[in-house]
Chains A and B, each alone.
Chain A
Amino acid sequence: MTVTDRRTPVRGGVGTSAPRPDGVAKVAGRFAFSSDLFADGMVWGHVLRSPYPSARIRRIDVGPALAIAGVHAVVTASDVPGVNAYGLEHTDQPVFAEDVVRFTGEAVAAIAADHPETARRAAAAVVVEYEPLEPLVDAEAAITAAPIHPDGNVFAHLLISHGDPAATGDVVVEGTYEVGMQDQAFMGPESGLAIPADDGGVDLHMSTQWLHVDRDQVASALALPPGLVRMTLAGVGGAFGAREDVSLQVHICLLALHTGRPVKMVFSREESFLGHVHRHPCRMAYRHHATRDGRLVKVEARMVFDGGAYASTSGPVLTNACCFAAGPYAVPNAVVEGWAVRTNNPPCGAMRGFGAVQACFAHESQMDKLAAALGMDPVELRLRNAMQTGDRLITGQLISGTAPVAELIRTCSAAPLPPQDPAPDPMARPGGSGRSADPDRVRRGVGFAVSIKNLMYSAGFDDFSTARVRLADGAATVTCAAAEVGQGFVTLAQQIVREVLQVEDVVISAADTSSIASAGSTSASRQTWMSGGAVEGAARAVLRRREAGETGEIEETYEHHHKPTTPLGADGQGDAHVSYVFAAHRAVVDVDLDLGLVRVVEIATSQDVGRVMNPVQVTGQIEGGIAQGVGLAVMEEIVMDGGLVRNASFTDYLIPTALDMPEVTVAALIEQPEPGAPFGAKGVGEPPTISSSAAVAAAVRDATGLDLPRIPIRPQDIALAGS
């Protein structure tokens, strides 16, 4: 082994902009995504989906599909050997529909054929007799409507009662807010390859966020011991929460076992829109009480989240929305009631920001309304109520970690404003390349928003991550099942090992379920902390042995846990969270009042990061998160019509283009090391999305003087009369 000179630190350690190990391959088009997988003898899978949001299935005849040349198998619910259901929290979603379908796009059958086109034609040839039923599409009505599933229509009902529920303030403001259904809109469609094995098991190569939980759901449905379902992470083209639930995993494994051949499936874009969960649309009624000098007295809220047909993570999403209903402020009294309900709309679940996004739009809209009622500067009002270490959440939980909310507000609001004049280039004005806005009709607006969100899973769902580090011949190898979905964990893992062991050559081996235990999900901004902690723990164990004089190959495995959490009690009080992360956003917009067009000119942000692990990656997360936040604010929405998705394509579901993307100014990255976090670093992936939407909405209100209680804000919402 070479002896490293400890006086000259190794390159690419913690705090440097170490390059991504997969970066060059990705930009050069050489990276293999899950849709690029191939195996000899492979056949193609395709899923037949319900065209109805609610219907009884009277009869299924797969005969005509099986008769098509090149079709190897057609499977339905009766072919599922194990439990015909999956789900992250509750196993309430059928692998294949049996007697009823509950949303448009629900899987009814799956086909394996020699060509994807053959499989699609076979799907069209399957005879399914449906008896369409009146769909339940109104979330409020679902609370009391006849159940559309044996488990009932209420996924979760939560009451938080904090302090004195009867408390009142001198000044009271009310508002009702809505957030539309946003899609994660990743580029790489759902895809995977299942290969049957000689031992009766199956090897599944899949783009996902959490290998081990997928494996367990597949094994349960296939009635296989988990060890016979071996999952390997295939190249992931973005996730943002949409790959947390099972999509095609069970279907292709079942087809592989039926045909005895490798089965590959790649969703079309339309299927992708129908085949994964979305961000919950919701309605939130709020009442804020404050003293005349702008101290928050009480926050009341009632939130109804439409969870769609199956539970997915509706419960935890609602818990988050309720816990953070008052925002990053010290609020002595609160009464919050939340519902997450089942409807015949598409299932909703995890998406970047996970419940905090919706709540943030509402609480920040309320803070602006309160500032106006008080005649106070909205930034000053936020500063006056900013949460700090030692304060309590409305769940009664003590904020014991870092909470630099006031610093975030001060630094973000102090960033210099962009030049006042609308851009001379018409492309940079509202309407972009439509050349539709004249500079003299454009009005500038500025809006501010601050957010809070938890890191890690919560409310007693305590998980862990496992990592192994092997040091041999001066090079280290990391084994960890953490899903790299584009966020850059593979880079951080290398940086952490370099930092601890002072070796530059660090290899990240493939993530799979056979070589190591679970790393938990790539979600909840948790992998930097959880898998970062596991990698650090393993590396330090190796270091200790090396420092004790061991030579030759050293290998250590480490399981990292965070401090335990507990479920909320009946009054919504309890220590449900591990740690919190905060961000502030200031949006500057230009609005064309006549045409209802918005151009987001700039987003300035300050973020609570604990420690900057990799400056370039932090910036990447901030810019990407802001793109999704801007999208939700001014354009992104899955349009529903009676349970039918009306814009399941990237031509009709609009996400920001490069021309829509504002300048992003990072005013400050606040580095206050978080106790208990590896290197003091907090996850950075979600905060950029959470308050950027609310800030843009506030800026559009500032420019227009309109209420704008709903996002996305679209042209018809601004100054256009309509009829």
Chain B
Amino acid sequence: MKAFEYERPVGVTEAVALARRAGSRFLGGGTNLVDLMKLGVETPDLLVDLTGLDLAEVLEQPDGALRIGATVRNSDLSANDAVRARYPVLSQALVAGASGQLRNMATVGGNMLQRTRCPYFQDVTKACNKRVPGSGCPARAGEHRNLAILGASEACIATSPSDFAVALAALDAGVTALTTEGEVSLTVSDFFRLPGDEPQRDTNLPPGALVTALTVPRLDWATRSAYRKVRDRASYAFALVSVAAAVDLDGDRVRDVRLALGGVAHAPWRATRAEEALRGGPATEEAFSAALRGELEAAEPLPHNGFKVDLAHNVAVRTLTELTGVPA
């Protein structure tokens, strides 16, 4: 591990100012960054520890939204009464991620910024366009069983590893960040990006910006929401495919729906095409299946990850079926 300096600012202004120094990185729970430092993937000169900042509160806003401070721990948020009652999908997504020990350390802001588990990204002796732009992508011809089937580029087929972000994408959540120029707000969908020819950028966050809060808008019908995750063992593994869904039912018809897929793309994949197909239509398994097939028409699987197309279809249809109470 490269030597680094360590600062523990007492306020966000100081934190953002420190982040202007070259080679700085914000440190939350350290559950991803420190691992990457050990691997030599991240080589910061300065760690700006955020855990002393006053950003650890979950506050109900006058408009009914929930404002979640960036240093709230994953475990705390998953156990939050308002989250559990109003956004089951969010609580379930948090609990589906990592292990209890990691969730106790991890911060929600850091969760949004965790890097891909692509094996080539993590191996500094190998080429990777995300780590070293222009060096190439061995994953396409190599081990890509758990890499992207949607929205990938020639340069990068990495997936976003976060469960939490998938639920946030479905809930139209927002990200608030602070730079030396002032506050920036992005929707989660705009926050994450597809790799294109700049896979080194995971997000559209301006350089040096400090994520201060996540805002989940009021959505009364999100009480009918769920997160399901398919992985290689019963706990403590990254998703092969996951789904975050919320449904607003009008009798046996879908009045409104939110659907996002995880484990399939460089960003949480908001299934807008499927949502449009479902909105106003019947809440039947056939309709769910057709909508997902339509959404997944855009999939471009590689030789070893084609199974994720069917997996995404199956788990999403299941989740929608469960939420709408349609008998299987």
Contacts and interface: CB of A to CB of B under 8 A. Distances in A.
Given A436-B318, A639-B143, A723 B306 contact: yes
Contacts of B311: 595-596, 715, 720
Interface string A598-611: 01000000000000
A634 B227 CA distance: 24
Given A641-B143, A715-B240, A596 B307 contact: yes
Contacts of A10: none
Nearest to B318: A438
Nearest to B99: A657
Interface in A657-680: 657, 659-660
B158 to A, nearest CB: 14
A635 B233 contact: yes
B326 to A, nearest CB: 12
Contacts of A639: 119, 143, 145
A441 B322 CA distance: 12
B314 A434 contact: no
Interface in B209-246: 226-240, 242
B228 A436 contact: yes
A436 B230 contact: yes
A434 B125 contact: no
Contact of A652 (B119, B226, B235): B119
B307 A659 contact: no
A181 B199 CA distance: 32
Given A435-B229, A639-B143, A659-B234, A723 B309 contact: yes
Interface of A: 51, 117, 120-121, 268, 270, 427, 431-436, 438, 440-441, 594-597, 599, 634-635, 639, 641-642, 644, 646-647, 651-652, 654, 656-657, 659-660, 714-716, 720-723
A657 to B, nearest CB: 5
B70 interface: no
A594 B292 CA distance: 15
6 contacts: A427-B234, A435-B229, A646-B119, A646-B142, A651-B238, A715-B232
B112 interface: no
B44 interface: no
A440 B229 contact: no
Interface residues of B, number: 43
B1 interface: yes
Main SS at interface, chain B: loop
B314 A438 contact: no
Interface string B57-85: 00000000000000000000000000000
B96 interface: yes
B233 A432 contact: yes
B203 to A, nearest CB: 22
Main SS at interface, chain A: loop
B105 interface: no
A95 B117 CA distance: 33
A646 to B, nearest CB: 4
Contacts of A438: 318, 322, 328
A676 B307 CA distance: 54
A432 B301 contact: no
A654 to B, nearest CB: 5
A297 to B, nearest CB: 40
Nearest to B229: A434
A187 to B, nearest CB: 15
B95 A433 contact: yes
A51 B125 CA distance: 7
B126 interface: yes
Pairs of residues from A and B, 10 with the lowest C-beta to C-beta distance, nearest first: A432-B234, A723-B306, A434-B229, A716-B307, A51-B125, A659-B234, A720-B307, A594-B314, A722-B306, A722-B307
B96 A721 contact: no
A474 to B, nearest CB: 47
Interface of B: 1-2, 38-39, 92, 95-96, 117, 119, 123, 125-126, 142-143, 145, 226-240, 242, 301, 303, 306-307, 309-311, 314-315, 318, 322, 328
B328 A716 contact: no
A491 to B, nearest CB: 31
B328 A720 contact: no
Contacts, number: 113
A434 B306 contact: no
Contact of A435 (B2, B92, B239, B309): B92
Given A433-B96, A434-B228, A644-B126, A441 B234 contact: no
A433 B235 contact: yes
Most buried by B among A432, A436, A656: A436
A258 B123 CA distance: 32
B228 A641 contact: no
Nearest to B38: A268
A652 B39 CA distance: 14
B233 to A, nearest CB: 5
Contact of B315 (A117, A432, A595, A716): A595
B116 to A, nearest CB: 12
B234 A599 contact: yes
Contacts of A654: 232-233, 237
Nearest to A440: B328
Contacts of A644: 123, 126
A378 B178 CA distance: 67
Contacts of A641: 119, 142-143
Contacts of A659: 233-235
A627 to B, nearest CB: 12
A643 to B, nearest CB: 11
Nearest to A647: B119
A67 B226 CA distance: 58
Contact of A657 (B1, B142, B235, B242): B235
Contacts of B229: 431, 434-436
B232 A635 contact: yes
Given A641-B142, A720-B310, A441 B318 contact: yes
Contacts of A120: 1
Contacts of A440: 328
B307 A721 contact: yes
A723 B301 contact: yes
Contacts of B2: 121
Given A595-B311, A595-B318, A716-B145, 13 more contacts: A51-B125, A433-B95, A434-B96, A434-B239, A436-B230, A595-B315, A596-B230, A639-B119, A646-B143, A656-B233, A659-B235, A660-B235, A720-B310
